[in-house]
Structure 1
Amino acid sequence: MRLPARRLLPVTAVAAASALLTGCFAGAESTADAAGGKRIRVAMMQPPRSGLSPLSDDAFKLSRWSTAETLVKLDADGDAQPALATTWQQSGRTWTFEIRDGVTFHDGTKLDADAVVRSLTEAATASPKPRILDGVELTAKAAGNKVTVTTATEDPLVPQRLSSPQLSILAAKAYRGRAVDPVGAGTGPFELTKVGGTASATLDRYDAYWGGKAKAPGIDVKFVPDGTARAAALRSGEADIVEAIPVSQAAVLDQDLITEVPMPRTNTLYLNTGKGAFKDASLRAAAREAIDAEAIVKGVYEGRADVAEGLLGPALPWAAELRKPVTRGAEAGRPNGAAITIGTYTDRSEMPEVAATLQQQLQKAGFKVKLDVREYTNIESDALAGRFDAFVLSRATVLDSGDPAAYLYSDFASGGTFNLSQFTDKGVDEALKKASDTEVGDARRAAVIAAEGAVLAADAAVPMLHERVIQGDAAGVVDAAHDPRERALVTVDTHVK
């Protein structure tokens, strides 16, 4: 099978994208506040998966729109900084956080210690738990304007965990139904006022924001899974900010309108170790040896990515400095026509092409390969249930806490909630526990790399490349965030001239 050649975006695609987006953005450009500020039109890649519940990955949308906030935020180095909490200190298993005074939720109610405890307790007792709390038993109690957070074992990463958008603090009204509803319940500079299912969202400026008045009067969001349509929206002027510009379109856009940032995101082939062909370690080794990641980087990503040496990439420079050669336990066997099904999704336009390239490479090595490609919302449950022999995923490695230990635990621990490889290994579990328990600093980084090596030694996953985020900002956009962790997009300072 030959991959299609790259082409310039045709005029018909631009027209189609314009028609697709006009319903959401119509009239938005002319809407201005007294100072002439324009609403910001944003085209986002993935529709909400769980009704914008902060207990799911949808939380990162709430964070990128600056509508829901957390007790702590992270700086560029991943260190914890004040947000809704102003100070904190540790005493054994307990951390005490002082809650910021003068903050109100979008419904006018006051932020206090009880509100913080309610949100944290909802997250800690949810089923399933937010990914950031994998393996963590957490309780919260109010004491005046302070909140004590206690974990079952001493946890050096509590502040970093509390920076996860999945632990956003919302008003009481958000928790009145069966699902958590963030509409009108955040504390950020923009209030979520309307959600149009999986098609759109509307946010208006919250003038009582504790951190100062936002420069833009509001945000109009359209969810556009098709990457070509998102790129067309930037070219046609239908959107002001476009996230996740496909590599295939980046080269044909005005380069002054795109920003490319190396990010902690790895394109990985997860191999199902629980059943099927890849339960055999020798066939996992054969698959690993058959994969030519450099060809994928050059052919699919047009050089706009970095070939992977491990699960953690150049966004974490210390990883390469600490990494040692991996000693694997199995030699490559002969596939002899072993039949495998590889799953992936269409939401990131590169994924089907990566899967098609892998199909060619693995068939050349002797596997018989079938592809199953769908939208992510329609394939995630099957992937988590282990219904594929392998799954191609673009995975953020420090998305939750700014620390890769949480990602490694979630994806490769026996009890991890995102264990696509159906992987169970006592030695890896021990290595992951050590990494999670070690204090922040050089020793923790060394333990993280040791855990990475243990995963790679078992060929539970084959890291192929590290991605770069490509974001489009129209010429009039000022101070849009370019965040490699994908937590910030529109901030209090973002506006359109």
Structure 2
Amino acid sequence: KMMKKLGICLLTGVVVFTMLFAMAGPAMAAKGTLRVGWSIPARKWNPHLNTAVMLLGHLEPVYEGLVGEGPKGELLPRLATKWEQTKDSITFTLRDDVVFHDGTKFDANAVKANIADVQSGRYPPNAKKLIAISSVEVIDATHVRFHLNRPAPSLLYTLQRFAGLMVSPAALKSNSVDKVPVGTGPWKLDPKRTISGTKYVYTLNKEYWDPSVQGVAEIEINVLSVEQQFNGFASGELEVAGLHSAFVPRAKAAGYKILSPEGPHEALHIYDRTGKIVPELADPRIRRALSYAIDRKAFARVVLQGNSIPSTQRYLPGSQWHSEEIEDLSYNLKKAKELMAEAGVKGFTFDTYSQNAFFDMMNEPIAGMLKKIGVTMNIKSIPIGQLFVAASSGKYAASIMPLIERHPYDFYQAKLAPDAFMNPFKYEDKEIDALAKKAARMDEKSAAPLWTEMSRLAAERGYLIHIGSVHFAIMVSKRAKNVKGRSFSPYNIFFRGVTVE
């Protein structure tokens, strides 16, 4: 794959992103089938109706956005060759050689139709992510401008995933996308060979605008249990498979190639900060006791086999938003018990939820740790794909969930703002709100200390009990080349450029 270079020009009040080499690379002789093991089935083929990052694997072959994503989340040109951002707008220059799988031309009108679909409100989590876009102006076929009604420091990153992926306007209008995905991506879903919930087969899109990234003729995603994935990989039936922590020692002993891209940050989200359904959680001493009760180092070592970086705050050392001033919230069982006693609480129970083996792996050990201070986590099973519905329902006081938001502004909008989707009880912290609103209007360098302070306060006040950054291991066969893990996205890889020998 020919790498595309991104030139960045800083003008007065304007940031201009320009792709220096817009030409697609030479065609790659696509051959062979890449067989992948996956933990969950596809949920909805319209990407605008999804937010669960593990579903990206099903959507990656068929969909693209204006902005591409690098292995560490960096911004790359994709369907847009360049963009110019001011405080009031973002203007995109689009490729003129792209068609959707159904033959519909990709142009500025298609972009407008997609933004309208997201903003329709059918799926509030994604509609919320594009709330800064007040209108979409079609300048001409290859130029489109998003007018902004508020600061949008993270909007370009948002456009890399679900809310920014482009669907054929014809498929949106007919609702055919509900049954078959219709994007512009390098591969197409083959509905005749696909067995919903079990196996998904993708074949080459021969009209794709950049054949240099099409290394395989077919992709086959098999939905398997964690044990089936390990056994399938060991027997040579899979080229790529997720590696559950329970199988890490066996994989290492066998000498398998293992990728460990940085995964989402995991935290026990405290939704009921006013104690509406669990009165004890209104007391900050109780929330702090929960933090002291969690042995993050033991969790990382024993449960995750070392594939985790323990942390009591959202951003790790090395991040511009990491706090050196945060109070010590690490494991201290004595302190946890003292705080419970000081608050006059002997114990209490709260309901939480799990949807698969991964969430069981996260919930059960943490529940065991909290039990030592008299707190019972009652884990209920919910259907796959209902995580964010459950989080926003107001039925649960707390839950362990990933923080998939990379930029602090997205973190605030999703978890901390009074109208945040994952703040179902509409709790308001005026100090945090003021910090976020001020930071959003500043340049990145000037805003960094404010975002750091916001993150510190959220941790110290126990709105989120941080556990750490989980690295989701992926096994890769020697037959598969150029496989890259996707950061902040469990078990996902980039299919572009992968080859199979």
TM-score, normalised with respect to structure 2: 0.81
Closer, same or farther: CA 141–200 of 1 in aligned 2, 3 Å: farther
CA contact (8 A) 2:154 2:410 kept: no
2:488 corresponds to which of 475, 485, 490: 485
Q: What pairs up with 1:8-23 in 2 under 5 angstroms?
A: none
Aligned counterparts of 1:410 and 1:78: Cα–Cα separation in 2: 19
Q: Helix, strand or coil for the counterpart of 2:400? A: strand
Question: Does residue 182 of structure 2 align to residue 185 of structure 1?
Answer: yes
* Matching of residue 125 in structure 1 with residue 96 in structure 2: no
Report matched runs for 1:256-271 at 5 Å: 256-271=255-270
Q: Which among 318, 321, 335 is matched to residue 320 of structure 2?
A: 318
Residue 70 of structure 1 corresponds to 65
Task: Give the match's secondary structure for 1:377.
Answer: coil
Distance change >3 Å, CA 238–CA 375, structure 1 → 2 = farther
- Measure, in 2, the Cα distance between the counterparts of 1:383 and 1:216: 38
1:203 aligns to what?
Answer: 202
Matched, 1:56 2:64: no
Report the counterpart of residue 235 of structure 1 in structure 2.
234
Instruction: Quote the Cα distance in structure 2 between the aligned partners of 1:62 and 1:106.
Output: 18
Partner secondary structure for residue 455 of structure 1: helix
**In 2, Cα distance between equivalents of 1:154 and 1:394:** 25
Deviation at 1:478, TM superposition (A): 1.3
Question: What is residue 146 of structure 2 aligned with on the other side?
Answer: 149
- 1:385 matched residue in structure 2: 393
Larger deviation, residues 203-212 vs 262-271: 262-271
Contact 1:410 1:417 in 2 (8 A): yes
Equivalent in 330, 339, 345 of residue 332 of structure 1: 339
The counterpart of 2:160, out of the listed 143, 160, 163, is 163
Deviations 1:278-314 (A, max 9, x none): 1232221222222221221222112221111311235
Q: Distance in 2 between matches of 1:152 and 1:495?
A: 44
Quote how far apart the aligned CAs of 1:422 are: 5.8
Equivalent position of 2:136 in the other structure:
140
Once residues 221 and 207 of structure 2 are traced to their aligned partners in structure 1, the CA distance between those partners, rounded to angstroms, is 22
* Residue in 2 that maps onto 1:436: 440
Q: Note if contact 1:63-1:69 (Cα within 8 Å) is conserved in structure 2.
A: no
Determine helix, strand or coil for the equivalent of 1:430: helix
Corresponding position of 1:21 = none
Preserved contact between residue 186 and residue 208 of structure 2 (Cα < 8 Å) = yes
- State how far apart, in whole Å, the 2-side matches of 1:379 and 1:35 are: 40
* Residue pairs, 1:282-431, within 5 angstroms: 282-313=285-316, 317-320=319-322, 322-326=323-327, 332-334=339-341, 336-349=345-358, 351-374=359-382, 376-377=384-385, 380-398=388-406, 403-419=407-423, 423-431=427-435
Contact kept? 2:265, 2:467, Cα under 8 Å:
yes
Task: Give the match for residue 216 of structure 2.
Answer: 216
* Paired letter, 1:167: G
Q: Could you tell me which of 100, 107, 120 is aligned with 2:102?
A: 107
Q: Which amino acid in the other structure matches residue 229 of structure 1?
A: Q
- Runs of 5+ consecutive residues of structure 1 not aligned to the other structure: 1-33
8 Å CA contact retained: 2:348, 2:375: yes
Q: Which amino acid aligns with 1:216?
A: V
Q: What SS does the aligned partner of 1:475 have?
A: coil
Partner residue, 1:447: 450
Going from structure 1 to structure 2, the CA distance change for 1:492 and 1:266 (only over 3 Å counts) comes to: closer
In structure 2, C-alpha distance between the alignment counterparts of 1:248 and 1:424, rounded to whole Å = 40
User: What is the alpha-carbon distance in structure 2 between the residues aligned to residue 99 and residue 39 of structure 1?
Assistant: 31
Q: 1:337 to 1:372 in 2, by over 3 A?
A: farther
Match of 2:476 in 1: 473
Instruction: Report the counterpart of residue 247 of structure 2 in structure 1.
Output: 249
Q: Is the 2:151–2:440 contact (alpha carbons within 8 Å) kept by the matching residues of 1?
A: no
Secondary structure, counterpart of 1:459 in structure 2? coil
- 1:374 CA drift (Å): 4.6
Matched AA of 2:314:
L
Residue 368 of structure 1 and its aligned partner are, at CA, apart by: 4.1
Q: What is the identity percentage for the equivalent residue pairs of Structure 1 and Structure 2? A: 18
Is the contact made by 1:138 and 1:150 (CA closer than 8 Å) also made in structure 2? yes
Label 1:333 to 1:220 Cα distance change in 2 as closer, same or farther (>3 A). same
Aligned partners of 1:264 and 1:397 also within 8 Å: no
Instruction: State the one-letter code of the partner of 2:309.
Output: D
Alpha-carbon deviation of 1:186?
1.0
Residue of structure 2 in register with 1:22 after alignment = none
The structural deviation recorded for 1:219 is 1.1
Distance 1:323 1:466 in 2: 17
- Deviations 1:453-474, CA, capped at 9 Å, x for gaps: 1211320110012111201112
2:130–2:163: 8 Å Cα contact kept in structure 1? no
Q: Once the 2 structures are TM-superposed, how far is the Cα of residue 359 of structure 1 from its aligned partner?
A: 2.5
Structure 2: distance between partners of 1:63 and 1:445: 35
Q: Secondary structure at the match of 1:462?
A: strand
Q: Deviations over 1:376-396 (max 9, x none)?
A: 435653332132332122333
2:356 counterpart letter in structure 1: D
Q: CA deviation at 1:420?
A: 6.5
Letter in 2 for 1:203: Y
Give me the CA root mean square deviation: 3.0
| Alpha-carbon distance between aligned partners in 1 of 2:425 and 2:307, rounded to the nearest angstrom | 27
Range with greater deviation from structure 2 (232-241 or 335-344): 335-344
| SS of 2:316 mapped into structure 1 | coil
Residue 56 of structure 1 and its aligned partner are, at CA, apart by 1.4
**Cα deviation per residue 1:318-351 (whole Å; 9 max; x = unaligned)?**
343x4422499x99343634321342425343x3
Deviation at residue 71 of structure 1 after TM alignment:
0.6
TM-score normalised by structure 1 residue count: 0.82
Structure 1: distance between partners of 2:72 and 2:494: 20
Q: Please tell me whether the aligned partners of residues 414 and 424 of structure 1 are also in contact (alpha carbons under 8 angstroms).
A: yes
**8 Å contact from structure 1 (residues 258, 470) kept in 2:** no
2:87 and 2:151 in contact (8 A); partners too? yes
Task: Determine whether 1:39 maps to 2:33.
Answer: yes
Matched, 1:176 2:176: no
Counterpart amino acid of residue 158 in structure 2:
R
What are the ranges of 5 or more consecutive residues in structure 2 without an aligned counterpart? 1-27, 330-335
In 2 relative to 1, CA 492–377 (structure 1 residues): closer, same or farther, beyond 3 Å? closer
Distance 1:112 1:452 in 2: 39
The 1:379–1:122 alpha-carbon spacing in structure 2 relative to 1, beyond 3 Å, is closer
SS in 2 for 1:121: helix
357-366 vs 209-218, which moves further = 357-366
> SS in structure 2 opposite 1:317?
coil
* 2-structure distance, mates of 1:436, 1:192: 40
